[in-house]
Structure 1
């Protein structure tokens, strides 16, 4: 099995703490549903580093790299060293459970229907990674979630030098978001990404600088707010900063893909140009009708399971224009990728509505059927190579060990 299950991760950390001196595995907080959030502390390290697994509930990369991270920790330990490695293996523990561990059901292929039925990602206001307190110009957010507060306590107590929020992308062409002080590592990190999943053709976040191909600056919320204001984009903002906004650590976010394209996306460029604008409009109309049927009017009343569909509806006005503009500028390869990713996004979010409100019509079905006609399965990436690439990224960023 390529990925560890949540229970296997817990047992792995528990056993590691029992077998290694100056190591502890303890509860550091509780989720909104009362589930424990654990912290694995490893003393005797040459630096202090914090690793956050499952910063988004549908991103299971920590369940792949956890064994290698712990082996690296053992190898880097030094007599008399005063640093500590801190690992929160499963940060969004509620959301990870709601995903149904779809990642552990796959061997070499991910069943698309099963994936759509089990994938969960909440809206930004419900994300543990996006509710850190922040005050910038006239914008203020001061309502961190319980899970976010647990990590804030760790940061405030230990003041880690390095922060690794362990994200992953789904499809090829990964990228890395990097703290300014780590920019000197960008050429090497760019080489690692290119060898692993191909160089990214465009900057995924328009308001960050590019350090090297596929290596960019951190998308601080302050920059996002400035970008939306300068371009007069009416995107609703009701969430906080990210972990790298709150911490003063040198942060690394590596978005490594865990899936492959099921086919050459160029094959679907023509269909993308013909279908995507109308599909997005149909998607937003369906969302509006569904939320009207269940009587939800304010985002604060929205259940967590459907918080991201509601967020999509809130920003529909700006997204329709942005999607059409992006499609017009994209080359055939990017158009095909957008088509597959968009169908997946639409099917997942309408399925979330069906999961929360079983009495609603199966509005996800047309989008899912169109997606299944293209790709009934997504091949898994070479996960051993993904694991090696992530460990090479960590090794590149951390100071060279002094023997």
Structure 2
């Protein structure tokens, strides 16, 4: 397996200074394709729920098909830039394109409606507080990545969105040998999901961030049931696993689940799947396995209590304003979904804290990931509910309950933001984030091509 040094790939990147919004992504993609009309084009693949056009770039290059899409979670804009850089490089580098042997289908933004609701933080300042105050993440059943058809035990999900249907059509039309879903974490280190791996591919994937001076996220995965194939490399998980895990802890799986994933939908086509997760802020503790003088069970119990506090704060606010809200905004729908989601997560963490295997010394990386998850819950979801309440005020509905809960949440969010922004982390240059995703795509495309 050939390998182009990651530093060389980064050296070829343009200097990105900010994330791009929906309209800028579309304009740049069309300009890139127009430079090589002999092998590149842009085609419509559908419309979003609000009527925005969905489109894909096609770059002819071989008999195999590769599908790459960004914006699958709208608070994760790195993938749009990676998609543009990938397209530009494939068109400029004939040898690379021919060596890989794929026809590429590149979708820089599959959720334009949700992405527009995040554009307020794209240009900075690069602080966790600013990010949280302009944050939007849809409810689970409105997320493209997790709204594919799903039927398992008591779960039956058929409310497939137009954006997801468009992606389903592309997957079924091209039957990709390789598919890359471009994601961002927020804080810590880099990690990946793949359908499978080899020692050679794992070595390449884990070397990419190291060559850029970025840590790997080598603690526990996003959920304890996710299979770790190697440090920072996990097997793409299925909704069925999440269902069974919740059920095993005495929780209702329907409180946390929606549909299946893009990886599960593409699996019958024999598609190799990659999701590259890159954070906005780096913390070297993400890859530190030094034991600390606290039990892991204690960290789980403490984390559950703090996430439960966020859930109660959101629930109390939603209950207080329930009779007053007049706008069914995406922010309100998401808040109504994530409040019980966080309650279920808190209960699951408390249950795990009682498991005998977690009565062991915790590691630095586990302490870091736990703190990061609590701060993310606070800044994300309190920030979204604040935006819902600000919408009520903006349309002339500042009832006493709306004003009261807005003031209460604003005070808590300011305090949480100050604490998060004082943490010893560093914002990662956008070029490095694009470089990780781009290099991982090339490494996996070569792996699949053999």
Q: TM-score range by the shorter chain?
A: 0.7 to 0.9
Q: Which deviations, in whole Å up to 9, do the C-alpha atoms of 1:32-74 show, x marking residues without a partner?
A: 1111112111112353111111110000112332343113422
Match of 1:125 among 117, 133, 141: 141
Say yes or no: does 1:142 pair with 2:158.
yes
Distance 1:401 1:275 in 2: 43
> What secondary structure is seen at the aligned counterpart in 2 of 1:287?
helix
Count of residue correspondences: 392
Question: Does 1:219 pair with 2:237?
Answer: yes
* Alignment partner, residue 18 of structure 1: 34
Q: 1:316 deviation in Å?
A: 4.4
Match of 1:363 in 2: 408
Aligned with residue 111 of structure 2, among 70, 80, 92: 92
2:141–2:159 contact (8 Å) kept in structure 1: no
Tell me, in whole angstroms, the C-alpha distance in 2 between the residues paired with 1:277 and 1:222.
23
Rounded to whole Å, the distance in 1 between the matches of 2:243 and 2:200 is 27
Are residues 280 and 62 of structure 1, via their aligned partners in 2, closer, same or farther at CA, if it must alter by over 3 Å?
closer
The Cα RMSD (Å) is 3.4
Q: CA deviation at 1:151?
A: 0.7
The equivalent residue for 1:207 is: 225
Distance 1:280 1:211, change over 3 A: closer
1:322 counterpart = 2:340: no
In the alignment, structure 1 residue 78 sits paired with structure 2 residue 124: no
| Cα gap change, 1:391 to 1:348, in 2 (>3 Å) | closer
Confirm or deny that 1:387 pairs with 2:405.
Answer: no
SS at match of 1:180: coil
Does structure 1 residue 342 correspond to structure 2 residue 374? Answer: yes
Q: Counterparts of 2:435 and 2:114 in 1: how far apart (Å)? A: 26
Q: Deviations over 1:324-360 (max 9, x none)?
A: 5569864455335533542342133122112112334
How do 1:35-74 residues align onto structure 2 when only pairs under 5 Å count?
35-45=52-62, 47-74=64-91
Is the 1:45–1:78 contact (alpha carbons within 8 Å) kept by the matching residues of 2? yes
Q: 1:354 to 1:371 in 2, by over 3 A?
A: closer
Task: Give distance in 2, aligned partners of 1:207 and 1:373.
Answer: 31
Matches of 2:251 and 2:234, distance apart in 1: 22
Q: Which runs of 5+ in 2 are unaligned?
A: 1-15, 391-401
Q: Is the 8 A contact 1:176 1:254 kept in 2?
A: yes
